[in-house]
Structure 1
């Protein structure tokens, strides 16, 4: 399956109502991450921040209000999502259509990279983590929020059958040891994982 094409098609359709208050799972769970993310970001002094899989740029809009000095970038695979983000005309924020496996930024560009509820769409997670590691400055943090299924048998069933049947570009949901291993394998240290909601986890790592 061409997961990237499915994701692009799915989110291009969702972009028109993504910011509405409807409790669709498409926008509900990413929005639930915002408060957790904002609290975590208060721990760091980030001059430059990238939101990977930024959607319509709503998180960046909120960050602009609370962190006026931070330079903000957003990248998403969906042209329609990026078009909506640009329409918000957020000051000193740059948005572009792009692939998380091939980030269009120089080495050591960012203090923080966020990824909220999009990692399970990536067919090559190792490639994405390699790129995140590359664009982070030494001492930079990767903050990952994503969907979670606690029961490993249900998670296996979802990964093997359900996600493929839905055909929305979802590839894989991760357990705690699985995602921590991926991050440590890439070179991140001080890797921390926590379940923040019955269907969401938070994982962070630091670049040496």
Structure 2
């Protein structure tokens, strides 16, 4: 029987995740929020929401917006339920088969999860599908352009079944453009000596073929 290594790992880590990775979580969430503009009454979904830390901070900043989260680990979602308002819907599922109707969100966000996706192209296609016209996709993840991240990626691919692959900024840009997203921009930055990150932003535009 197939077992999902990501689900297995985070089911095991759920109870200690926020405490063990507090600096990393807070720093990457802050960098993501710095590059976000969420308007009141927009619908926002966090793909790979984990324990709900990003949703919690976004809700505190824009409580008029409507938030949802999705994660493959029920244990992580159970912790998210304890810290988030009951109005926030949390779903169990995977990034490459999102359980949402087409064109149902203004903003799709993923932080610290993209290197786990077994099929990143399909995940981007799904994110694009559920975005409304002019909707925005924001992805924050490790950046393979940094030596420290290349070393981590090498060893994790050897010894950690949950880890899949990190990408350079240009590889991420090419994937987003290939799937038809527009206004693609990527910022690279370090949050400390070890973690080299990038935040990619893109939008879904409806192309008028006749004008």
**The two structures share one fold, judged by TM-score above 0.5:** yes
- In structure 2, distance between residues paired with 1:46 and 1:201: 27
User: Any unmatched runs of 5+ in structure 1?
Assistant: none
Contact 1:191 1:205 in 2 (8 A): yes
1:185 to 156, 159, 178: 178
Q: Is the 8 A contact 2:185 2:202 kept in 1?
A: yes
Match of 2:8 in 1: 9
Tell me the C-alpha RMSD between the 2 structures: 2.2
1:42 to 2:49 alignment: no
Please list, as runs of the form range in 1=range in 2, the aligned pairs for 1:67-106 lying within 5 A after superposition.
67-106=62-101
Contact kept, 8 Å, 1:64 with 1:90, in 2: the verdict is no
1:88 CA displacement: 2.1
Relative to the length of structure 2, the TM-score reads: 0.86
Deviations 1:37-61 (A, max 9, x none): 2222236566100000000011111
Which 10-residue stretch deviates more, 188-197 or 41-50?
41-50
Given candidates 97, 102, 106, the residue that maps to 1:107 is 102
TM-score (norm 1): 0.88
| Aligned residue in 1 for 2:209 | none
Deviation at 1:31, TM superposition (A): 2.5
Equivalent position to 2:125, from 126, 130, 142: 130
Moved beyond 6 Å, runs of 4+: none
In structure 2, the residue matched to 1:170 is 163
Q: 1:43 & 1:62 partners in 2: Cα distance?
A: 12
